[in-house]
Structure 1
Amino acid sequence: MKVSFVIPALNEEGIVGKTIRSIPVKQIEDEGYDVEIIVVNNNSTDNTENEAREAGATVYLEMKRGYGNAYKRGFKEATGDIIIMGDADGTYPLEQSLDFINKIVDEKCDFVIGSRFDGEIEDGAMPALHQYIGNPMLTKMLNILFKCDYSDTHCGMRAFTKDAKDKMNLTADGMEFAIEMVIEAAQKDLKICEIPIVYHKRGGGEAKLSSFSDGWRHIKYMLQRKFF
């Protein structure tokens, strides 16, 4: 079996290389898997692309900026039986990747998502507004509207099978892609599993989230999808 890591990167010079090197490639290969690491350069203006290549990733350029655009390009290029996604900024513990793989292989999960709230959030890793209000509120809203049972709908470290990817209809171009995926996983009756993770303080690069505008975009997406 083959495992594909897909990492979007927009101006992550100084951290993307460290993030790539945190992937436990040898450990995964020792378990009998082939590994490929794909970084989608989302039209960066710094040295992100070269740094990612030097760290061992295959880099693809996606000129259309947007979280969803970057991931859709990466999924298109991925050739693995299992796909693992995570951000380039060092916040997600890619060193835990084998736990995600084992959930899929041993427990026959189709879609595995990390949970920062069932795990640990390092000091300074998440703004208080997000930790105590924004993320819990959005998670609860999504669970109620779509009859789900997630503990952390916005955790960006996820793994799924190629078959699961093909079943999910992923079309969003921007940050809405994150909740589109968890809704699709539930509505397509995929077997969903969660894993507690340690969420790290951002290692560098430029922050991409805008608390109020991105929060409203997620609320608007959920309401439109549910009622219109």
Structure 2
Amino acid sequence: MKVSFVIPALNEEGVVGKTIRSIPVKEIEEAGYTVEIIVVNNNSTDNTAQEASDAGATVFLEEKRGYGNAYLRGFKEATGDIIIMGDADGTYPLEQSMDFINYLVEDNCDFVIGSRFDGTIEDGAMPALHQYIGNPLLTKMLNILFHSDYSDTHCGMRAFTREALDKMDLKAPGMEFAIEMVIEASEKGLHIKEVPIHYKKRGGGEAKLSSFDDGWRHVKYMLTRKFGKN
């Protein structure tokens, strides 16, 4: 079986290489898997692409910027039976990837997502507005509207099988891609598992989130999806 890591990167020079090297390739290979690492360069203006390539990743250019656009390109290029996704900024513990793989293979899960709120959040890793208000409220709203039971709908470290990916109808181009995926996983009846993780401060690069704009985009997406455009 092959494991594909898909990492979107927009101006992450100085950290993307460290993130790639944090992937426990040797541990995964010793468990009997082959590994590929894909970085989607989302039209960076710095040395992100070269740094990722030097660290051992296969780099694809996606000129259309957007969180969803980058991941959709990465998933298209990935050839693995298992796909693991995570940000390029060093915030997610990719060294914990074997736990995610084991849940998929040994426990027959389809979709595994990290939970920062069931795990630990390093001081300064998440703005207080996001940690205590934004993320909990958006998670609660999604759970109510879509009858799900997530503790952290916006955690970006996730893993799923190729079959699960094929079942999910993913097409959102921007940050709303994060909740589109968890809604799809729930609505398609996938066997979902949440795993506590340790969320870390950014290792470098530039923050991409806009608290109000991205929060409203997520609310609008959920309401439109639930109740229709009218």
Per the normalisation by structure 2, the TM-score is 0.99
Give the 5 Å matches for 1:31-110. Answer: 31-110=31-110
Question: Tell me, which stretches of 5 or more residues in structure 2 are unaligned?
Answer: none
The aligned counterpart of 2:192 is 192
Could you tell me which residue of structure 1 aligns to residue 141 of structure 2?
141
Partner of 1:209: 209
Give ranges in structure 1 of 5+ residues lacking alignment. Answer: none
Residue 204 of structure 1: CA displacement?
Answer: 0.4
SS in 2 for 1:196: strand
Q: Report percent identity of matched pairs.
A: 82
CA distance in 1, matches of 2:102, 2:120: 21
CA distance in 1, matches of 2:181, 2:188: 10
Counterpart CA distance in 1 for 2:194 and 2:104 is 11
Distance in structure 2 (CA, Å) of the matches to 1:5 and 1:63:
20
CA displacement at 1:179 relative to structure 2: 0.1
- After the TM superposition, which residues 109-188 of structure 1 pair with which residues of structure 2 at under 5 Å, given as runs? 109-188=109-188
Paired residue type of 2:80:
G
Measure how far apart 1:133 and its partner are: 0.2
Q: What RMSD over aligned residues (CA atoms) do the two structures have, in Å?
A: 0.2
Which amino acid in the other structure matches residue 82 of structure 2? I
Query: In the aligned structure 2, how far is the partner of 1:210 from the partner of 1:64?
Result: 19
- Counterpart of 1:16 in structure 2 is 16
Q: What's the offset of the Cα at 1:67?
A: 0.2
CA distance in 1, matches of 2:195, 2:82: 16
Output the amino acid matched with 2:204: G
What secondary structure sits across from 1:49 in the alignment? Answer: helix
Q: What is the Cα deviation at residue 101 of structure 1?
A: 0.1
Letter of the 1:83 counterpart: I
TM-score, L = length of structure 1:
1.00
Which residue number in structure 2 is paired with residue 218 of structure 1? 218
Instruction: Letter of the 1:20 partner, please give it.
Output: I
> C-alpha displacement at 1:32, in angstroms?
0.2
Post-superposition shift, 1:19? 0.1
Matches of 1:22 and 1:176 in 2, distance apart?
A: 27
